[in-house]
Amino acid sequence: MQILCLNCGSSSVKYRLFDWKAQKILATGIVERVAIGESFIAHEAHGRDKLILKRECPDHQTAIQLIMDTLAHPEHGVIEGVASITAVGHRVVHGGEKFAQSVLIDDAALDAFKKTSSLAPLHNPPNIMGIEAAQALMPKVPHVAIMDTAWHQTMPASSYLYALPYAWYEKYGIRRYGFHGTSFLYTAKRAAVLLKKDPFRCNLAICHIGNGASINAVKNGVSFDTSMGMTPLEGLVMGTRAGDHDPAIDLFIMAKENILPKDMDSILNRKSGILGITGKFTDRRDVEAAALQGDRRAAVALQIEGYRIKKYIGAYDAAVGGLDAVVFTAGVGEMSDKIRSIALEGLERLGIKIDPAKNQACRTRNAECNISASDSQVKVFVIPTDEERVFIEDVVAINEGRYDAHTRFTYQFQSPDYRNALRDEAYLKELVQKPQLASVACNPPPVKVL
C-alpha cells in the first residue's frame, strides 16, 4: 500500500509518499511560500540528494499539481504515475462538532467541510481544493480526512464554552474547537517518549509556531485547553492573524471606516498579526533579518509574538497543575531560537530554564532536541512535527477496520525504537555543516561516514 499524504496549510503544502508494507518513506517534501511569492518545492526521495525547484504557485491547486508532477518525474520521481498510489490522506482543519476523528471522504463529508469554510477561511478552502484535485487525479482510491479538531474533543466544557448566550452554542455550535490537532497528537506522544513516561501521565504546553500558531495545554495526555477558538483567529500573534484582542475594536473600526463584516474578517485573518505590525513581513526569517538591520517595527513584532507565547505558557502551567515539559514545534518553533528565547525568558520561577548555547544550536527540522538547562525542573524540547505520520497510520487503520480514538489506539511512533529514516539521513548530512547539533539531539542516529 502506497499512501500519499497532503497537508495544505495557509502558505504551504506538505506531502509524503509512504510504502506501508516496506515501512519506507519513498518521498517527502513541501511547497513553500504558496500565494505569497518566490514559491518553491523542496523534494526529498530516499537515497537521493534534496531537490529544490523554484516554481511560482499562486494557489494551492497549482502547488498540488507540482507535487504530482514531481513524484512522477522521470528523473526525480519515485512512481511511474498516479495509478501507483493506493490511498490518500488529507488534512482538514475544521470539522465543527460533526467530526470527532478521521473519516473516509464521501460527498456528505465534503459538503460538511465546505459549510465550515467560513470558520477557517485560510485553511478549509485549500484543504478542499486539495481533496478535489486529488480525487480528480485518483477517483478510484479511498480518500481519508484527518481532522485538526479531533484531538481537542477531550476538552472540558470549562475550556471550550464561551461566556456568551448559551443559545448560540445550541443553535450555531459557537464554542472553542482548537486546531493543529495532528501536530499536537504527534508531539505529545513523542514528548512522552523523551520523558520516558506513560503518555497519560504527562502535562505539557506544546507551542506549534508557524505562519499559523497555537498552544495546547495537555493534561494527563489529552487536550485540556488550547489558544485557538471557534476559528483559527483567536490566541497567539500569527503571520497574518490578529490573535487575542478586544472585539470592541473591530466594532469601533467598522463604524468609523464603514467596513463590512466580510472585509473586517479579511483584515483580521489576512492583514493583521506580524504583517499588520510590520507592514510588509509574515515570514519570521524576514522579520528577524529586518530587526537586525534596525527595523523598529520588526523588532517590536518579535517581542509582541514572544510575549504572547510566554503568557500562554504561564497560564497553562497553572491550568494543568504544573508542567513536565514545554515543547516547540512547526517551522518557527523548530527554527527560531530568537522567538523561543523571548518566549521563555523570565520563566525560571515556574522551573522553566533553557541553556542559551543549546537553544542557539537547535535549528533543525531533522532531530528531536533538548534545550533545557541542566538545572531546569521542566524539560524544554524542540520536536519536529510529523503530521503526515499521523495521517499515514490513520489511513491504514481506517482501511483495515481497526481505527479508534487516540486514547484507545497506540501509534507506531510511540515506540522508543521508532525511527524516521529520511530524517536520520538528512540529520547526518546536516551534522557535517552544524556539528553543534550533536550537543542537543536527544536520540540521534549513529554517526557514519557519508
Task: Lowest mean pLDDT of 53-62, 219-228, 308-317, name the range.
Answer: 53-62
Task: Indicate the pTM of the whole model.
Answer: 0.89
Per-residue pLDDT band for 61 (boundaries 50, 70, 90) equals confident
Strand partners, 424: none
Buried b (16+ CB within 10 A) or exposed e, 188-200: bbbbbbbbeeebe
Q: Select the highest-mean-pLDDT range: 116-125, 173-182, 246-255, 441-450.
A: 246-255
What is the arithmetic mean of pLDDT over 57-67? Answer: 88
Average pLDDT taken over every residue of the chain = 93
What is the arithmetic mean of pLDDT over 340-368? Answer: 97
Residue 290, pLDDT score: 97
Residue 93, pLDDT score: 86
Domains in the chain (CATH in brackets) are 2-147+389-418 (3.30.420.40), 198-382 (3.30.420.40)
Strand partners, 310: none
pLDDT tens digits, one per residue of 161-171: 999 999 999 99
Q: Which residues are annotated as catalytic?
A: 148
Instruction: Give the whole-angstrom CA distance, residue 92 versus residue 102.
Output: 9
Of 226, 178, 219, which Cα lies nearest the Cα of 201? Answer: 219
Cβ-proximal residues to 236 (8 Å cutoff; 6+ apart), any chain? 209, 213, 214, 215, 227, 243, 244, 305, 308, 309, 312
pLDDT tens digits, one per residue of 36-49: 899 999 999 877 88
Residue 448, pLDDT score: 63
Residue 374, pLDDT score: 96
Residue 380 reports pLDDT greater than 50: yes
pLDDT tens digits, one per residue of 401-439: 999 989 999 999 999 999 998 899 899 999 999 999 999
pLDDT tens digits, one per residue of 267-278: 999 999 999 999
Per-residue pLDDT band for 449 (boundaries 50, 70, 90) equals very low
pLDDT tens digits, one per residue of 218-231: 999 999 999 999 99
Contact between 232 and 123 under an 8 Å Cβ cutoff? The reply is: yes
Cα 87 from chain centre: 22
